Structures are given as C-alpha cells and as structure tokens.
Amino acid sequence: MITLRDIYKVFQTKDGPVRAVDGIDLRINEGEIFGVIGYSGAGKSTLIRMVNMLERPTQGEVTVAGRNLSQLHEKELRKARQEIGMIFQHFNLLWSRTVRENIAFPLEIAGVKKPERDRRVDELIKLVGLAGREESYPSQLSGGQKQRVGIARALANNPKVLLCDEATSALDPKTTDAILDLLVDINEKLGLTIILITHEMHVIRKICHQVAVMEAGKVVEQGPVREVFRKPKEAMTKEFVKQITEPEETADAISHMLAESPEGKVVQLTFVGEETERPLISQLIRQFDIDVNIVQGKITKIQAGSYGTLFIALDGKPEQIEAAIAFIRSKQVEVEVISHVE
C-alpha cells in the first residue's frame, strides 16, 4: 500500500546541512495501523509529511497505492492527496466555521455539490460521535471533540490513507484512549490504512499492528508490536518499552531487593498471548526449593492479544535459582536477569 524507498531529507541551515531523515526504507500494508515512535527531533514528523509530499524528499521514492508521488507534478499531486487524509496535534480547524462547515470544507475545495456534501457530512458526524454539535464552533468544543472534527474532516474525501501526526499529544489520558478507540473503529469499518506518529508507547501498544522506532533520522528497529514488546533489541526501543513495563516504583523496589539479597536474583518475565494465563509462579514454588517474591506485574492488551510483564525476586541456593530460571524458559516465557537498575 505504502512504500518508502531510500528516503532522505536534508534541510539547509545557517549552521550547515541537517539530515532530518537518513536513508529510510519502510513498507506499510493495506489496512494496517503502523506506528512510528521517537523522541522530539528524531525525524518522525518530517517522515510523515513526506508521505503526502507536504515535504518533498531530498532523495528517494514515496509510493502510495501504486502511484509514485515523487514523480507527480503539482496538479496531479493535489488530486493524489485527496486519497491521503491528515490529522494534527493542534487540530488546525477553521475557527470561524462550525463543526459542519469545517468537515464540509475539503468537499467544497473538491467541487462536490451541496446535496452530496450535506449527506457526506451527516455520515461523518455520526461516525465520529459528534451528533448534536453540528452548529458549534471550535471554541465551544473540548479537545477531544476538536480532534473528532479533525478526523471527520480528514475522512471527507474517502481517503485510502490517514496520517496522524501526534494526534493525541495535546489530550488527557482518558480522551486519548477515546480517540484511539475511534481510530481503531475507523480502521476496522473502512479498512483504512493508518500511519500514526507518537512519542508515547501507550499509543503504540493500544492500537498499532506494526511499529518503527526512529532515532536521529534513522529507523533503528521495526516489527510487529507484539515482537518488539517481547524482544526489544535496541537501547532506544527498550527505553520506550519500559514506559509500559517498568514504572519508577518498580525500579526502586528492584534496587532495594538487589541490595537486601545479593545472593538472589531479580528477573523480568515477559508473557504473550496464552502464556499470560498459565500458573507459572505456583509451579515454581512447588517444584523448586526457593522463595519467590512478586515485585510488580501487569497484563495489558495489544492488537495481537495480551502482553504481560512480571518482576519477581528469587532467593535460595544458586543451583536451585538457575534450575528455576531454566524451567521458566522451557515454558516459552522470555526471562531477563536484572543485575542493576539504570
């Protein structure tokens, strides 16, 4: 559906050239929710703006639905952009227009006649849950309602692709979850391909099928969300995964246990899918002469199913601890022995 091949973007500044995107290759399948995560300055917003050619790449090709956008002239590109909707962090609504008029705006630009415009706007208002607010102005809406208007407007021309640039960053956690649920609903009902830019691993965990991790203009890790959570390879990816799996109080508890019991071990267990439902801890206690202390545990939902992490402290004879760890690994559970806390 979307292919980025050997993409570079170099900005010329007073201090010399800045390489914002540095040799990226990505393939995004039709109907997929694809997340791109990275901290500020990683190049992710520049990358997403090249998908619809709001930024033209310095080098490389962008192909959407079989069409190479890099080779299109401006008139052809304007037509191609009608198949690519975009929503923004700060909504970008027209403040002098009502909800209905904001949603209708791209249809006016496209020359759609008024009866057809009205019918389409009514459909979209219902789809995004704004019934009853049609005549309200943006200043009369909450942040979540404004973003719903932005989503409806982006869907007006029946696009095949929806680009979300930090679309939930300005919202509180509860509203963020509601907007993410709406995006999943749209993805399932319309079969829309969604690319989502964020710096929050919670967003990736909740709705994305695939994720690419960006750092300094490069994709440093990429794969199905389930696998990236289960076996993060790069330091940057591990840092993001810790946002979900290892809150600050857990790190404090681990440090305390390592200091109190230098002969024991603290381990992190990672479960995926059916593994989260197995009585592993009770099996450990029955089969091995060790003490097991649960530090912290959490099971969360990702698009591919359940994902769980459990931090436990094992105390006893070294050979018994090693045998217990080997037993855990035999149950297809990922095990990481934690020797220190960063």
pLDDT digits (tens, 9 = 90+) for 49-104: 999 999 999 999 999 988 899 888 888 888 888 899 999 888 899 999 999 999 99
pLDDT on residue 38: 94
pLDDT on residue 334: 82
- Domain range summary for the chain, segments of one domain joined by +: 2-242, 246-338
CA dist 72 and 65 (Å) reads 14
pLDDT digits (tens, 9 = 90+) for 295-342: 877 776 666 666 778 888 888 888 899 999 999 888 878 888 876 555
List of residues 6+ apart from 207 with CB closer than 8 A: 33, 35, 180, 183, 184, 187, 196, 303
Say which DSSP state 253 is in: H
Residue 275 has pLDDT above 70, yes or no: no
Topology annotation, domain 2-242: Rossmann fold (3.40.50)
pLDDT on residue 303: 67
pLDDT digits (tens, 9 = 90+) for 178-199: 999 999 999 999 999 999 999 9
Say which DSSP state 89 is in: T
CA dist 64 and 80 (Å) reads 9
Confidence of residue 276 (pLDDT cuts 50, 70, 90): low
Residue 221 has pLDDT above 60, yes or no: yes
Do 2-242 and 246-338 share a fold? Answer: no
List of residues 6+ apart from 233 with CB closer than 8 A: 221
CA dist 142 and 176 (Å) reads 12
Cα–chain center distance at 222? 12
Confidence of residue 253 (pLDDT cuts 50, 70, 90): low
Q: How many alpha carbons lie under 13 Å from residue 293 in its C-beta half-sphere?
A: 16
More confident residue, 13 or 243: 13
CA dist 197 and 203 (Å) reads 9
Choosing among 3.30.70.260, 3.40.50.970, 3.30.565.10, 3.30.70.890, the CATH entry for 246-338 is 3.30.70.260
